[in-house]
Amino acid sequence: MDEMTMLRALGAELDPEVPEPSPLRARVLAGLPSGPGGGDTDTAVPAAVSASVSPLRRVRGSPRRLRLGVAAALTAVLAGGLVAGGVIGFGDRPPAAEAAAAQILHRAAAAAARAPALRARPDQFLYFDRVVKAGWFADRNLPPQQYRSQSWLSVDGRHTGLFRDPWPPPPARPDGVRDTPFPGCAYPGAVVTMSPQPPGIVDRCTPMPAYRSDLPTDAGAMLQYLNTPIPNEGGGTHDPFVRAFDLLTGSYLPPRQQSAAFDAVAMMPGVHADSGATDYLGRPAIGIGRTVRFGGSGDSQRVRQELLFDPKTYACIGDRLVALEDGARGRAGTVINASALRQLAVVDRAGQLP
Amino acid sequence: MLSVVPEEATEVSDAELVRASLVDGERFAAVYDRHVRRLYRYACRRLGADTAEDAVADAFLVAFGARTRYDLTRPDAGPWLFGILSKEISRRQRTELIRYRALRRTGQDRPVDGPEQRVADGVTAAAQRGRLARALADLAPGDRDVLLLVAWGDLSYQEVADALDIPIGTVRSRLNRARRTVRAALGGDDPTRDTDDSA
């Protein structure tokens, strides 16, 4: 037995009776400051952050973006798939259509400003119940998916939310739904991840509030906000319409912010009205959107991306993406993606139904 | 097959926990939970349970205060914590030396060389324990840190170098010197005395 072996044997003899004295932890932790150590806890969420996509933008591949529904999926495609082709407004509608769009958007802005605000505490969740059609998998050789998408998004972005939908698409669990937690960012700069289960800590985060009372309430300021590219945003093309689209479909804007957003979209060039639309539930709707080229260089297709408004109340009730010409995602007129909002409510816990 | 698990989602490193603790101090509790047992065991061997508890508690509080200077490129905070703990132990050197003296006495209380040369393993161990304890007490503090971080802390040479912030060559030379001292204290009882030190 050499001296090291003997030393190790002696060490083993000297081992403590308990692996860790029970009062030690409390003693040490009592010495640590509770809560955030830094003074930046209350730092406002950076303005240039899109509620629906940004939390995921560091994650490779687009499937995770899909968790947020069609809005985010669209953004993923527009930000990623369209890098080669770019987003191009064709201006193929007469100026009258733009004027009509602006008029409808101003009505929507007025209606939004009159609507009662949802009241929510920071620790509550916004519940979105949607019916979704996602056909953009065409380029992945997958059929269009349609499903119910329920999501609970943290009001202040610091609490762990939840997605409940039949994801991923078949063959995985075509019969049921999955619950996927969406970790909150407890403190700015803290690090979180979507997985593994339970949510661990692998990445820096910024709280992504679903209740966007932090946004500008003035149309000009809102337009400037929407025009500002998101730092580190994936893809190469910043599209203010997509930003507005994401905000309006992936989060909740209180009346003044929502009103400002509609007025801001009205100022964007190339936005047209389509009065004969229907939403994914078959409800009549007015489509407000613009024409873009969708897809990569090989199979790009002219499509129209629209926000859908109730023709009576001018409330935003959904969105859709329609093919304007035959292509990889369907013949002209095909609704490639759509989502219809069935319910928006405030609940106390992720997973709780209103 | 689409997966909802991002490729990056691996186990969280200490560095990430330390980084998180810069914003949220309570995150440091995870660092504590990961390392406390190993640190406490090491301190206990050197100081005894009561003093070890103090040393470990102080080491974690010092570490927390020093976390802004933690090298975030090092995923494992173990060597860093052992280095801080080593300083806390050195502040309690009197306790440590008293402990070794007590161990030495314990060893000498046992029959060392029975006339019949029928020395049971346990008796031999007791005897050797006394000699080991004396040798440990006689070591230069820096040599003792290196020797015990390897033998009792199970740190690699590189980890010892990181913990004590000394070159790895210094780790080797200190370890060689300490082992020679201990071997000499054990006298002719060690059949492996000529073993290569670098093993």
- Residue ranges of the domains in chain A? 66-347
In a domain? residue B96: no
Tokens 């259509």: give the residue.
A97
The whole-angstrom separation of Cα A320 and Cα A335 is 7
Question: Could you give the count of Cα atoms lying within 13 Å of A202 in the half-sphere of its Cβ?
Answer: 20
B78 contacts B108 by C-beta, under 8 angstroms:
no
Residues on chain B touching A32 (C-beta within 8 angstroms): 25-26, 28-29, 61, 64
Closest by CA to A271, choosing from A114, A148, A63, A87, is: A87
- Yes or no: say if A89 and A291 are a contact pair by the CB < 8 Å rule: yes
Residue B134 within any structural domain of the chain: no
pTM for the model stands at 0.49
Residue B114 has pLDDT above 90, yes or no: no
Instruction: Report how many domains make up chain B.
Output: 1
pLDDT at A345 over 70: yes
Residue B199 domain flag:
no
The closest CB to that of A63, out of B2, B23, B190, belongs to B2
Does A32 reach chain B within 8 Å, measured CB to CB?
Answer: yes
Q: Cβ B40–A21 below 8 Å, yes or no?
A: yes
The answer to whether residue B191 scores a pLDDT higher than 80 is: no
Q: Which of B14, B44, B182, B193 to mutate to test the interface with A (most CBs of A within 10 A)?
A: B44
Residue A34 neighbours by CB under 8 Å, 6+ apart = B25, B26
Which of the residues A14, A162, A163, A180 would you substitute to probe the B interface, choosing the one with the greatest number of B C-beta atoms within 10 Å?
A14
Minimal CA separation from A223 to chain B, in Å: 33
pLDDT higher than threshold 70 for residue A141: no
CATH number, residue B44: 1.10.1740.10
Is residue B144 assigned to a domain?
A: no
pLDDT digits (tens, 9 = 90+) for A193-236: 444 334 443 445 667 889 999 999 999 999 999 988 765 443 34
Mean pLDDT of B15-23: 81
